[in-house]
C-alpha cells in the first residue's frame, strides 16, 4: 500500500471564492492507449504560452488572478486516491477545475462535487456516452464513468452532446435513465439547451473533430469544431461549480495544437466560473 502524500498543504487559504485548478495525472483505466496522465503540465504550459495572452474572449484577465489558485497535480498512487484528494479540495468550498487524466477520473471528481452541492446538472461533451456497465472487466474504466455517476445518484440531469459512437445498449440505457443526448448527427451548431442549478462540465476533448485536435486517444471522425465547444462553454450559467478537461493525450498531439485547444477551453471555463 503506497503511502498517501499529504496534499493539504496545497489547499492553504482556499475559500468558497476560489477556483482550485488541479492536475489529475491518471491514465491506468484507459482501454486503448495510455498517455493522458502526462497531460496536466502540458496543458498548463499551453495556458502560459507566450504565443497567446491571458484574456478570455469576454476580456477578463485570467492571470495572475487572486481567485484562481493553481494547486498542483494530485500525487496519485492508485485510483481511489483521486476521490480522497477531490474531497479534500471540495471541503475547502473552492470550486474544483481538473485538468488531465482519462475519463475514469470524472466519477470521483463528480462524486466529491455532488457531495458538496447535491445532485448536479452535468453537461458532458464527448464522442462517447461512457455508459458501459463494465469494460474489459473494469467497472471504473474510462468507458464507464457515467454509468457509475447515474447509478450513484450524482446527476439530477445529464446532458450529453457530441455523441457519435452510440450502441443499442447505450440507447436503451439513456432512455431508462432519462439522459438527454444530442448526437453529433443532430448537432446544428446552436446551443438549444439551458442548464440550471449547480452545473458540472465534463469536457472530453475527443468531442472535437480529431483532424482539429489529434492529441486524444480515440480518433472518432465527425466531431465538433473548436468554436462549437467554446460557444457551449460561453453559454454555461454562472452556477458552474466544477469542471474537468480530460482525455488529452500528448503522445498523439502535433505541435501542441490540442494542448492549445485545451488551454483555450480552460480560459473560457475559468471565465464562466468567475462570472
Residues at the contact surface with Mn ion, assessed by CB under 5 A: 126-128, 204, 206
C-alpha cell of 187?
Answer: 448537432
C-alpha cell of 88?
Answer: 479534500
Minimum distance of Mn ion from residue 242's CB (angstroms): 19
**205 φ, ψ (degrees, to nearest 5):** -65, -10
Nearer to Mn ion, 127 or 131 (CB): 127
Minimum distance of Mn ion from residue 94's CB (angstroms): 27
Residue 32's DSSP bridge partners are none
Nearer to Mn ion, 90 or 246 (CB): 246
Nearer to Mn ion, 20 or 174 (CB): 174
Nearer to Mn ion, 11 or 158 (CB): 158
Nearer to Mn ion, 126 or 209 (CB): 126
Minimum distance of Mn ion from residue 258's CB (angstroms): 13
**183 φ, ψ (degrees, to nearest 5):** -70, 155
Nearer to Mn ion, 84 or 165 (CB): 165
The answer to whether the bond into 154 is cis (omega within 30° of 0) is no
Residue with cell 453529433: 184
**Do residues 37 and 101 touch, judged by C-beta distance below 8 A?**
yes
Minimum distance of Mn ion from residue 218's CB (angstroms): 6
Residues 6+ apart with CB under 8 A from 18: 67, 68, 69, 92, 94, 95
Minimum distance of Mn ion from residue 121's CB (angstroms): 20
Nearer to Mn ion, 109 or 127 (CB): 127
The answer to whether the bond into 109 is cis (omega within 30° of 0) is no
Q: How many CB atoms lie within 10 A of CB 61?
A: 10
Minimum distance of Mn ion from residue 204's CB (angstroms): 4
Euclidean distance between CA atoms 159 and 237, whole angstroms: 14
Euclidean distance between CA atoms 227 and 220, whole angstroms: 18
Minimum distance of Mn ion from residue 208's CB (angstroms): 10
Residue 64: burial class (beta carbons within 10 Å; 0-12, 13-18, 19+): exposed
Amino acid at each position: 500500500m503506497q503511502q498517501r502524500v499529504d496534499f493539504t498543504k496545497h489547499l492553504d487559504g482556499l475559500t468558497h471564492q476560489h477556483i482550485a485548478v488541479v492536475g489529475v495525472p491518471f491514465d491506468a483505466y484507459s482501454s486503448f492507449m495510455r498517455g493522458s496522465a502526462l497531460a496536466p503540465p502540458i496543458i498548463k504550459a499551453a495556458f502560459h504560452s507566450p504565443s497567446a495572452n491571458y484574456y478570455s474572449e469576454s476580456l477578463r484577465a485570467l492571470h495572475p488572478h487572486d481567485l484562481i489558485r493553481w494547486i498542483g497535480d494530485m500525487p496519485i498512487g492508485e485510483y481511489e486516491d483521486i476521490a480522497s484528494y477531490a474531497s479534500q479540495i471540495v471541503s475547502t468550498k473552492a470550486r474544483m477545475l481538473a485538468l488531465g487524466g482519462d475519463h475514469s477520473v470524472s466519477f470521483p471528481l463528480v462524486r466529491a462535487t455532488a457531495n458538496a452541492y447535491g445532485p448536479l446538472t452535468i453537461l458532458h461533451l464527448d464522442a462517447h456516452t461512457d455508459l458501459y456497465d463494465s469494460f474489459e472487466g473494469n467497472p471504473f474504466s474510462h468507458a464507464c464513468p457515467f454509468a457509475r455517476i447515474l447509478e450513484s445518484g450524482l446527476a439530477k440531469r445529464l446532458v450529453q452532446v457530441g455523441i457519435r459512437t452510440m450502441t443499442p445498449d447505450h440507447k436503451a440505457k439513456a432512455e431508462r435513465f432519462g439522459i438527454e443526448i444530442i448526437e453529433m448527427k443532430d448537432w446544428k451548431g446552436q446551443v438549444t439547451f439551458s442548464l440550471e442549478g449547480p452545473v458540472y462540465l465534463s469536457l472530453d476533448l475527443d468531442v472535437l473533430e480529431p483532424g482539429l485536435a489529434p492529441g486524444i486517444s480515440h480518433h472518432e471522425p465527425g466531431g465538433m469544431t473548436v468554436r462549437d465547444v467554446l460557444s457551449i462553454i460561453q453559454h454555461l450559467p454562472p452556477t458552474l461549480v466544477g469542471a474537468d478537461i480530460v482525455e488529452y493525450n500528448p503522445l498523439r498531439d502535433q505541435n501542441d495544437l490540442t494542448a492549445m485547444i485545451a488551454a483555450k477551453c480552460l480560459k473560457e471555463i475559468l471565465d464562466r466560473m468567475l462570472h
